[in-house]
């Protein structure tokens, strides 16, 4: 696990649901097949209405045409991020799109656990309403172990809630690697 994540922010609002993160009609792809797994990233956040995306340059897509991971490494969300169905593909889609961390005020529990169990994303929580402080395209630096976010564009810095008990799982890579390391699985 990286100690520091640097990259552009993609800012969303409250109640971003799993069907906005990866619409159901794209669930026909098989994540076990590398070419198809990539498609989850291609269509990540394609269900978010343009008015809710907060893009600085109009209809700039989350993932550029051609499907290579986009420029956004950190998604900033409001309350109840990842609500909706228990779609395991939602954090996978964000990861395939190049996202390494999501910072939100609160999460739907299933999205949070899927992010951790699959080792897809670092799900930080913030006591500050960052969706009103950070803009899509701002350059951010996330100190993972120090749970500190710095907006390099504005110079402002924010303390995040520590990852706590999930940190060893994320450091191991996913829940199965953690279980093997800790002797729970042979």
99 within domain boundaries: yes
92 within domain boundaries: yes
117 within domain boundaries: yes
Domain that holds residue 171: 4-181
127 within domain boundaries: yes
Cα distance between residue 110 and residue 143, in whole Å = 25
18 within domain boundaries: yes
pLDDT at 46: 84
Per-residue pLDDT of the chain (186 residues; tens, 9 = 90+): 789 999 999 999 999 999 989 999 899 999 999 999 999 998 898 887 655 555 444 445 677 776 677 889 999 999 999 998 878 899 999 999 999 999 999 999 999 999 999 999 999 999 999 999 999 999 999 999 999 999 999 999 999 999 999 999 999 999 999 999 999 987
Question: Domains in the chain: how many in total?
Answer: 1
186 within domain boundaries: no
**Can you give the CATH number for the domain in which 50 is found?**
3.20.19.10
């Amino acid at each position: 696990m990286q100690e520091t994540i640097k990259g552009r922010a993609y800012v969303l609002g409250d109640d971003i649901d799993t069907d906005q993160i990866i619409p159901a009609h794209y669930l026909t792809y098989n994540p076990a097949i590398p070419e198809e797994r990539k498609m989850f990233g291609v269509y990540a956040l394609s269900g978010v209405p343009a008015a809710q995306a907060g893009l600085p340059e109009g209809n700039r897509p989350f993932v550029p045409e051609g499907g290579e991971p986009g420029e956004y490494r950190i998604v900033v969300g409001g309350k109840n991020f990842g609500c909706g169905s228990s779609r395991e593909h939602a954090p996978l889609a964000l990861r395939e799109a190049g996202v390494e961390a999501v910072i939100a005020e609160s999460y739907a529990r299933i999205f949070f656990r899927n992010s951790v169990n699959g080792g897809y994303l670092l799900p930080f929580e913030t006591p500050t309403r960052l969706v009103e402080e950070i803009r899509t395209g701002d350059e951010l630096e996330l100190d993972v172990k120090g749970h500190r976010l710095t907006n390099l564009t504005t110079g402002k810095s924010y303390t995040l809630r520590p990852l706590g008990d999930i940190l060893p799982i994320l450091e191991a890579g996913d829940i199965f690697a953690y279980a093997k390391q800790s002797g729970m699985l042979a």
